[in-house]
């Protein structure tokens, strides 16, 4: 399992002892979703003047008291922040010093594990191609990256194959790191001790749909967006919506949220049971399909959010929600981000049942306009996006109450997307804004993305603190 203790050095020469073998057909499958969602034409970028060192870009998903933020900063400001985080690491190390350090096998043992797994699962089941190792051990949009790459990538096709991989890795003390969509933002799938990354690209099926029970059984590599388009005819959907390229296995790993979390909660609220392969290859199921929660240990809850460190999830039963009768997307502008954040906080405080609420500053609205995907030009002012959903009467009621709060916080406009297509384009532009930001960053620029969390009442303060004065 992925360990959390300090890195031990692993030289490039060690890594190169494992010879790359061409397994292109396998590799092509998983990297494509992420790569294609990153493609965005930056030709409209007017150069670096738009981006200054002090200009922080805040994308906040307001979920109760939490904000999901991505900031683009210069490398200079980044290195000073790295220094301050080093002291925090030092404190953690002291606490960890009393724990026993894991000991892993050396490169010769890893090579034996790879050979044994190739003999058992087929030559193509394990890749040591350099590009493949890089694609699974490094992320351009991650705030941090480990200094090492995985030594090999396994591509299992079933729970039984995952179990075989775990047994062999356990025997040779080779660390294992599960990998699904690769969209996590904080080095979650990096391999600081080298080892075996397990990519579920070939375990991407919906296994069972129980429309009457409102649940579905899936494999870890099904993307949540694909799941929803496959479920559309049932009148049900899966509401947790993190990065567009995220897949269910990784969403379990991170206990992700998303823009809909304000109404539907986070991943932990939607997982009924899991099939998990433990570090030594044993296979367990955390509970059965009926929704009884009070019998026995909450093993499901233990694995959700454990980032692959407690077990490898190979099958997931998820709850589903009815698709709401009506959905409207509202766009409200404010004179300052602080006003927008204050309005957002009051909407939560008054329990207005909005489905989603997103805050964008004027820079981000400019990015959306420049990306051009929504078919119209939006006001470049601090903005709240809302999704209102439910019955027609519920939607009308939520809009009326939200309008009142917006006016009380000096809103300058309140518009609606004119139809479903425009609403969808607008929301997609928001969800994919990370790629737009990447395309627009200056030459030496880096993207920082992270979560910040404060008590609800401090939301306007923290969002205000990110902005240039
Ligand atoms: C544009 C963009 C917007 C985003 N918005 C949000 C947001 O609003 N809210 C949010 O929470 N996140 C957001 N994210 C982050 C990301 O989408 C989520 O963290 C998501 O849950 C990761 O899923 P993944 O399939 O990409 O997982 P990966 O990145 O592949 O893995 C994530 C973690 O789960 C582990 N893991 C993967 N598969 C398994 C498995 N089968 N069994 C056990 N562990 C496993 C990995 O080891 C890793 O620790 C966003 C990302 C992007 C790029």
Q: The domain that contains 269 carries what CATH number?
A: 3.30.465.10
CA of 408 to the centre of ligand 1 (A): 37
Helix 24-38 to helix 130-137 angle (10° resolution) is 40
If one compares 216 and 434, the residue with the highest pLDDT of the two is: 216
Q: Which residues of 330-366 are buried (b: 16+ CB within 10 A; e: fewer)?
A: bbbbbebbbbbbbbbbbbbeeebebbbbbbbbbbbbb
- 147-176 pLDDT, tens digit per residue, is 899 999 999 999 999 999 999 999 999 999
CA of 283 to the centre of ligand 1 (A): 23
How does the average pLDDT of the chain come out, rounded? 80
**Mean pLDDT on 167-193:** 95
Q: Please state which of the ranges 181-185, 413-417, 465-469 shows the lowest mean pLDDT.
A: 465-469
pLDDT for residue 77: 38
Q: Is residue 270 part of a domain?
A: yes
If one compares 371 and 73, the residue with the highest pLDDT of the two is: 371
312 in contact with ligand 1, CB cutoff 6 A: yes
- Are 211 and 283 in a shared domain? yes
Q: Please state which of the ranges 50-54, 348-352, 452-456 shows the lowest mean pLDDT.
A: 50-54
Q: Is residue 243 part of a domain?
A: yes
pLDDT for residue 95: 56
200 in contact with ligand 1, CB cutoff 6 A: yes
Under the banding of pLDDT at 50, 70 and 90, the label for residue 44 is very low
- 350-360 pLDDT, tens digit per residue, is 999 999 999 88
DSSP 279-296: TTS-EEE---SS---SSS
- Are 175 and 233 in a shared domain? no
- Are 461 and 330 in a shared domain? yes
For residue 130, pLDDT beyond 70? yes
Atom 6 (ligand 1): residue with closest C-alpha?
242
User: How many domains is the chain built from?
Assistant: 3
180 in contact with ligand 1, CB cutoff 6 A: yes
Q: Is residue 283 part of a domain?
A: yes
150 in contact with ligand 1, CB cutoff 6 A: no
Q: Is residue 33 part of a domain?
A: no
Q: Is residue 230 part of a domain?
A: yes
Q: Is residue 349 part of a domain?
A: yes
- 260-317 pLDDT, tens digit per residue, is 998 999 999 999 999 999 999 999 999 988 887 777 899 999 999 999 999 999 999 9
Which of 284, 307, 322 is the C-terminal boundary of a domain?
322
If one compares 230 and 141, the residue with the highest pLDDT of the two is: 230
In angstroms, rounded to a whole number, what is the distance separating the alpha carbons of residues 197 and 153? 5
For residue 90, pLDDT beyond 60? no
308 in contact with ligand 1, CB cutoff 6 A: yes
Q: Please state which of the ranges 117-131, 187-201, 206-220, 446-460 shows the lowest mean pLDDT.
A: 446-460
- Are 356 and 431 in a shared domain? yes
Q: CATH number, domain at 159?
A: 3.30.43.10
Atom 1 (ligand 1): residue with closest C-alpha?
243
Q: Which atom of ligand 1 is nearest to 435's Cα?
A: 1
For residue 46, pLDDT beyond 60? no
Under the banding of pLDDT at 50, 70 and 90, the label for residue 198 is very high
Q: Exposed, middle or buried, 41 (CB in 10 Å: 0-12/13-18/19+)?
A: exposed
254 in contact with ligand 1, CB cutoff 6 A: yes
Atom 27 (ligand 1): residue with closest C-alpha?
250
pLDDT for residue 467: 65
26, 135 contact by CB (below 8 A): no
316 in contact with ligand 1, CB cutoff 6 A: no
- Are 380 and 287 in a shared domain? no
In angstroms, rounded to a whole number, what is the distance separating the alpha carbons of residues 253 and 241? 14
Query: Ligand 1, from 246, 310, 433: best to mutate by most atoms within 8 Å of Cβ?
Result: 246
pLDDT for residue 137: 95
- Are 274 and 355 in a shared domain? no
Residue 347 Cα distances to 158, 273, 326, 355, 364, angstroms = 45, 33, 20, 11, 22
- Are 115 and 70 in a shared domain? no
- Are 110 and 62 in a shared domain? no
CA of 182 to the centre of ligand 1 (A): 6
- Are 314 and 374 in a shared domain? no
Give the domain range for residue 124: 101-202
CA of 267 to the centre of ligand 1 (A): 11
Considering the entire predicted model, what is its pTM?
A: 0.80
């Amino acid at each position: 399992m992925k360990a959390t203790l300090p890195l031990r050095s692993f030289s490039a020469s060690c890594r190169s002892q494992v010879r790359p073998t061409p397994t292109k057909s396998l590799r092509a499958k998983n990297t494509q979703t992420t790569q294609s969602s990153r493609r965005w034409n930056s030709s409209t970028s007017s150069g670096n003047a738009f981006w200054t060192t002090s200009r922080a870009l805040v994308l906040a998903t307001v979920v109760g008291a939490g904000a999901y933020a991505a900031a683009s900063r210069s490398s200079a400001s980044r290195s000073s922040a790295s220094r301050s985080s080093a002291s925090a690491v030092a404190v953690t190390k002291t606490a960890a010093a009393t724990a026993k350090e894991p000991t892993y096998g050396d490169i010769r043992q890893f090579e034996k594990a790879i050979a044994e797994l190739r003999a058992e699962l087929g030559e193509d089941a394990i890749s040591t191609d350099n590009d493949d190792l890089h694609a699974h051990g490094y992320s351009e949009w991650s705030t941090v990256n480990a200094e090492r790459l995985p030594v090999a990538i396994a591509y299992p096709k079933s729970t039984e194959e995952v179990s075989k991989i775990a047994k062999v890795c356990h025997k040779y003390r080779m660390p294992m790191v599960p990998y699904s969509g690769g969209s996590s933002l904080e080095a979650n799938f990096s391999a600081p001790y080298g080892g075996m990354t397990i990519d579920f690209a070939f375990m991407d099926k919906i296994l069972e749909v129980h429309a009457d029970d409102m649940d579905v059984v899936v494999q870890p590599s099904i993307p949540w967006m694909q799941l929803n388009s496959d479920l559309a005819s049932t009148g049900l959907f899966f509401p947790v919506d993190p990065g567009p390229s995220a897949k269910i296995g990784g969403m379990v790993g991170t206990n992700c949220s998303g823009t809909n979390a304000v109404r539907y909660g986070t991943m932990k609220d939607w997982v009924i049971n899991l099939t998990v392969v433990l570090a030594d290859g044993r296979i367990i199921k955390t509970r059965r399909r009926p929704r009884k929660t009070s019998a026995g240990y909450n093993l499901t809850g233990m694995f959700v959010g454990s980032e692959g460190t407690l077990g490898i999830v190979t099958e997931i039963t998820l709850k589903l929600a009815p698709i709401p009768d009506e959905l409207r997307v509202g766009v409200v502008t404010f004179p300052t981000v602080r006003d927008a954040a204050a309005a957002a906080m009051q909407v939560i405080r008054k329990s207005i049942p909005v489905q989603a609420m997103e805050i964008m500053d004027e820079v981000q609205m400019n990015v959306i306009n420049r990306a051009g995907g929504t078919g119209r030009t939006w006001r470049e002012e601090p903005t709240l996006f809302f999704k209102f959903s439910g019955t027609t009467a519920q939607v009308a009621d939520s809009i009326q109450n939200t309008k009142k709060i917006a006016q009380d916080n000096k809103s300058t406009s309140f518009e609606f997307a004119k139809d479903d297509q425009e609403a969808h384009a607008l929301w997609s532009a928001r969800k994919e804004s990370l790629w737009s930001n990447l395309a627009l960053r200056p030459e030496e620029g880096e993207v920082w993305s992270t979560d910040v969390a404060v008590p609800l009442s401090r939301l306007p303060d923290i969002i205000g603190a990110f902005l240039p004065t």
